[in-house]
Amino acid sequence: MRTPDEIENALLRLMPAGISVSAQVEMEEKLDELCGGVEVDMGRPVLAVNWKRYVGIAAALTVGIFVALAGYERGLVGNVAEVGREVFQEALPADLVFLTGSDRLEDVSDEGVFVDSAGSAIRKVRIRLVDEQQMRDEETGIVVVVSEPREEMLILPVNSF
């Protein structure tokens, strides 16, 4: 049996697969669009610190850090997770509250039986779906319904008798 250190070292030898060229190019193009020609100053200001003046502040900070760590250990974690959730939901206007969501089947049509590249019989079925989300504007009470219709082609294996 390998030790945890050995497994860890073996894992470090494996490199994550890179993002595909097409996805990388697409993301870079979007970043170019978003950033435009904006320039930023990466230099950090250098602070001249008189340490004697800050001894009291440092002591207060130390106590504060101990208190914060005690709270942290009691389970007050998840701030980053909460921000992550907020970032993901930023697309919705702040006053809209999500009510319900559904994925509804609207129509099914049989496209017939085909033979795939491996020589197996398959049936193609075209389906039309509507992904619907209801949200309420907290300020006006108006309920907004967002519908996203889409079409999908399903491939069903056909058994031969």
Partner 1 sequence: MENLSKIWKQWLAENGPRLLLFARGWGKNRQDAEDLVQEAVLKMWHHQQDKGGLPPDLPLVFSTIRFGGLMLYRSEKRRRAREESIVFLNDFEDVWLDPMMEEDEEAVMLREAVQGLSDKLREVVVMKVWGALTFAQISEALAISPNTAASRYRYALDQLSQSLQQVKGDRYADAR
Which chain residues interact with partner 1 by CB under 8 A?
1-4, 6-8, 10-20, 23-24, 26-28, 30-32, 34-42, 73, 75, 77-85, 87-91, 103, 105, 116, 122, 131, 154-157
- Answer yes or no: are the C-beta atoms of 132 and 147 closer than 8 Å: yes
Longest dimension (CA), the chain: 91
Q: How far is CA 98 from CA 87, 131, 135, 151, in A?
A: 16, 14, 4, 25
β-pair partners for 21: none
Residue 106 phi, psi dihedral angles, 5° rounding: -100, -40
- Answer yes or no: are the C-beta atoms of 112 and 129 closer than 8 Å: no
